[in-house]
Amino acid sequence: MTILYQIITVGVIALVGWNLLREKRLVEQMAAALVLIPLILRVLMIK
Amino acid sequence: MKRREEGYGRWWTAVALLVAAAAVLLVAGRSFLAMRVDLPIYPGPGVTQIGALSDYFDGLIGTPADTAVYVLEGDEPGGTALVLGGTHPNEPASSLTAIALIESVTIVRGRLIVIPRANRSAFTCTEPQEGYPQTYTIETPEGPREFRYGSRGTNPVHQWPDPVIYINAAGQSLAGAEVRNLNRSYPGTPSGNLTERLAYAMVELIRREGVDIAIDLHEASPEYPVINAIVAHERALNIAAEAALFLEFEGVQIGVERSPENLRGLSHREWGDFTDTLALLVEAPNPAQGRLRGRTSAELIVEGVDPYYVRAAERGLLYVPFSAEGHPIDERVGRHLQTVAVLLDVYNTYSADDIVMAGVPTLADVLDRGIGAYLAPPGGGIESPT
């Protein structure tokens, strides 16, 4: 179960990261950067 | 105009934001990981042996739920008592009382087993969206010493996911999040989740060590009805009632509650039903825990002063008196220490296997000198093995 959760989270991180690099609006880029923080903490099983 | 439609985002702003996110990640990650390191406990002169809970159930070996078990044994044979602190690490007077017993008390007759971090995993996180500090500070005569503030339940990193409805080993249906609550998981099961295995190990310890009387220390929010109380299994009810009388004579306001027979999974019920021990649970008032509290801080945990609770008390919404002086941790730990001492004194009047402690401070002692006077100095002594 946990490994499945981590795989899904890595997928979401990849999509958010891709959006961050492609996004032209600065506010959206900032939102994507903020969302990445808890996602990475999750996938590393830190929080 | 074209620039405005496309926005100000560029590849280099994306890179700059990624660097900023990495910096925040680093700081936050280090802070969260630091909670997984146990703050030291310094065994006092009364400690004769330090073991691990996994000694009683190898299903805990190498897990974040394995925890240190401190044994204080007197020179003369007698009975065995167990004191549990830190079942809920967001109820700090419970673990602090256990630590004070480990660091300052000696045993004349019998044995005292103390587990100060009953749910060790729950000390590694705090409750989401509650704004709790990760530590609080107690002043000792030699300087300030930090203690961990934790969560009510096992860290979800260690046990996941929560079910929608949790049915514990005793058959009680509970809300899903209670699956990580040690005090809803008794008597536990060896093949269950981490919290159930932890509960099973506790019951195994009680059985194998022949614990005669077991006391689970807690705190409750001031608006919770079971507060300033001893909750007793029916076999321990006479001891609880007599102890409450003595405590009232000594100026400690305390009530007695009978353990409900149809509320399953709690220590005072399952320890009493599944082992021969006399099972008791003790509650003190913790303003930092309640829903009516104001700003949440380490000061609130230690000083217990909250103007919103004063207003709630004036409106009759609380189950304890609440003045501007609040309920400081000195008072809460002092209550627990005196209650443990009186419970054992009363137990001794009924049993030939005495458990006699020396050096247990009373509530008045702790209010006079502060709980720091009964703890080891910061950085002193021998570190705990887990």
**Mean pLDDT over residues B111-119, rounded?**
98
How far is Cα B238 from Cα B235, in angstroms, rounded to an integer? Answer: 7
Least confident of B4-8, B180-184, B227-231: B4-8
pLDDT level of residue B221 (50, 70, 90 thresholds): very high
Q: Assess if residue B2 is contained within a domain.
A: no
Q: Assess if residue A45 is contained within a domain.
A: no
User: The tokens 């967001």 sit on which residue?
Assistant: B90
Domain span at residue B34 reads 11-374
Nearest residue on chain A to B125, alpha-carbon basis: A47
Q: Assess if residue B1 is contained within a domain.
A: no
Domain count across chain B = 1
pLDDT at position B7: 79
Least confident of A30-44, B187-201, B370-384: B370-384
Q: Assess if residue B196 is contained within a domain.
A: yes
Q: Assess if residue B386 is contained within a domain.
A: no
pLDDT at position B5: 53
Counted across chains A and B, CB pairs separated by less than 8 A come out at 61
Q: Assess if residue B298 is contained within a domain.
A: yes
pLDDT level of residue B16 (50, 70, 90 thresholds): very high
Smallest Cβ–Cβ distance between A46 and the set B7, B11, B32 belongs to B32
Enter the pTM of the model: 0.94
The closest alpha carbon to B95, from B74, B120, B62, B71, belongs to: B120
If DSSP codes are grouped into helix, strand and coil, which group holds residue A39? helix
Q: Do A46 and B157 touch (CB under 8 A)?
A: yes
pLDDT level of residue B1 (50, 70, 90 thresholds): very low
CATH code, domain with B150: 3.40.630
Q: Do B17 and A46 touch (CB under 8 A)?
A: no
pLDDT at position B213: 98
Domain span at residue A14 reads 2-40
Q: Assess if residue A30 is contained within a domain.
A: yes
Q: Assess if residue B6 is contained within a domain.
A: no
B46-61 b/e (C-beta count within 10 Å ≥ 16 → b): bbbebeebbebbebbe
Phi–psi pair at B76, nearest 5 degrees: -100, 140
Asked if B39 and B148 count as a contact pair (C-beta separation under 8 A), the reply is: yes
pLDDT at position B8: 83
Q: Do A33 and B17 touch (CB under 8 A)?
A: yes
Domain count across chain A = 1
pLDDT level of residue B97 (50, 70, 90 thresholds): very high
CA distance A30 to chain B (A): 7
Tens-place pLDDT, residues B261-296: 999 999 999 999 999 999 999 999 999 999 999 999
Q: Do B24 and A37 touch (CB under 8 A)?
A: yes
Q: Assess if residue B379 is contained within a domain.
A: no
Chain B (119-138) residues lying within 8 Å, Cβ to Cβ, of chain A: 125
Smallest Cβ–Cβ distance between B33 and the set A23, A27, A46 belongs to A46
Q: Assess if residue B15 is contained within a domain.
A: yes
Q: Is pLDDT of B2 > 60?
A: no
